[in-house]
């Protein structure tokens, strides 16, 4: 703000809070000089990128302070909110390369400062950051499609949030879903040649009851090693077929 704008702001402050207005012309001049020195970098108004309702207005900031604080207004009560406002607006800006010689460091820095100040006061819109673009990987796309196919084959009849909470009580299914999402070999995709467990069923351990010699089976937490090897070979063959296709 220049001196006339500072004078207008102080006159507005004195109308809102006349009891604290300077009682002499010398005191008023001294106050004007102080505010003009400390707030020279603060604009009277500035347009915000999000719209007029968030724009900067030094008079509105001063009125808010008088309405909410029991203390006399000081230059910092306007300067500090401006720094917060400026940081928010400039934080949205990604400095484009200035149209000056980059070897001229002084000119280069001056151009950057000028652009940032223009963005802060609303003379220029913030320059957005440009994303790094690249071509999608066909191999990654195939893997994602295979993972989606395997997850769909497992089926889902409960919401994902509920399924995540039940994972502790369904370790085999939770493990199969993790392997499918990561596109890793799943031992339950193939039958077990050791215990005879069918596809999708966990491996079994035989149990003989003492005395009666009755034979029963209980599910194992981990598959048999031969089933793991068969699943790895099956997964490798599928990957080779997809790559060849």
Give yes or no for a contact between 181 and 164, defined as CB atoms under 8 angstroms apart: no
More confident residue, 140 or 43: 43
8-12, 151-155, 159-163, 184-188, range with the lowest pLDDT: 159-163
Half-sphere exposure of 180 (CA within 13 A, CB side): 20
- What is the residue-averaged pLDDT of the chain? 83
Q: What percent of the chain has pLDDT over 90?
A: 34
More confident residue, 216 or 169: 216
* 15 pLDDT higher than 70: yes
Phi, psi of 62, rounded to the nearest 5 degrees = -65, -40
Look at residue 165 in the predicted model and tell me its pLDDT. 65
Look at residue 80 in the predicted model and tell me its pLDDT. 94
More confident residue, 104 or 30: 30
For residue 17, give both structure tokens. Answer: 């809070």
Look at residue 79 in the predicted model and tell me its pLDDT. 94
For residue 94, give both structure tokens. Answer: 């990604």
More confident residue, 156 or 110: 110
E strand or H helix at 56: strand 56-57
23-32, 83-92, 154-163, 201-210, range with the lowest pLDDT: 154-163
- The average pLDDT across 205-234 equals 86
Give yes or no for a contact between 77 and 65, defined as CB atoms under 8 angstroms apart: yes
pLDDT band at 58 (very low <50, low <70, confident <90, very high): very high
**Separation between Cα atoms, residue 223 and residue 211, nearest integer Å:** 29
pLDDT band at 26 (very low <50, low <70, confident <90, very high): very high
Look at residue 104 in the predicted model and tell me its pLDDT. 84
pLDDT band at 191 (very low <50, low <70, confident <90, very high): very high
Look at residue 136 in the predicted model and tell me its pLDDT. 57
**Separation between Cα atoms, residue 79 and residue 82, nearest integer Å:** 5
**Separation between Cα atoms, residue 222 and residue 234, nearest integer Å:** 18
**Separation between Cα atoms, residue 228 and residue 219, nearest integer Å:** 16
* 67 pLDDT higher than 70: yes
Look at residue 245 in the predicted model and tell me its pLDDT. 64
Look at residue 167 in the predicted model and tell me its pLDDT. 60
* 30 pLDDT higher than 70: yes
């Amino acid at each position: 703000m220049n001196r006339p704008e500072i004078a207008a702001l102080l006159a507005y402050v004195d109308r809102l809070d006349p009891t604290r207005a300077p009682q002499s012309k010398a005191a008023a001049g001294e106050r004007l000089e102080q505010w003009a020195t400390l707030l020279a970098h603060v604009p009277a108004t500035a347009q915000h990128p999000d719209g007029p309702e968030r724009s900067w207005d030094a008079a509105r900031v001063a009125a808010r302070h008088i309405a909410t604080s029991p203390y006399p207004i000081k230059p910092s009560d306007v300067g500090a909110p401006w720094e917060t406002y400026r940081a928010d607006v400039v934080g949205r800006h990604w400095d484009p390369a200035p149209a000056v010689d980059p070897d001229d460091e002084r000119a280069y820095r001056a151009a950057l400062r000028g652009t940032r100040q223009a963005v802060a006061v609303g003379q220029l819109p913030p320059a957005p950051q440009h994303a790094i673009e690249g071509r999608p990987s066909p191999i990654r796309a195939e893997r994602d499609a295979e993972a989606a196919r395997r997850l769909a084959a497992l089926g889902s009849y409960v919401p994902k949030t509920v399924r995540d909470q039940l994972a502790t009580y369904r370790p085999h299914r939770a493990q199969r879903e993790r392997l499918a999402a990561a596109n890793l070999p799943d031992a339950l995709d193939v039958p077990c040649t050791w215990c005879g467990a069918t596809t999708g069923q966990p491996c079994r351990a035989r149990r003989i009851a003492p005395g009666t010699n009755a034979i029963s089976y209980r599910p194992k937490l981990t598959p048999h090693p031969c089933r793991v090897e068969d699943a790895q070979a099956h997964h490798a063959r599928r990957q080779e077929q997809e790559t060849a296709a």
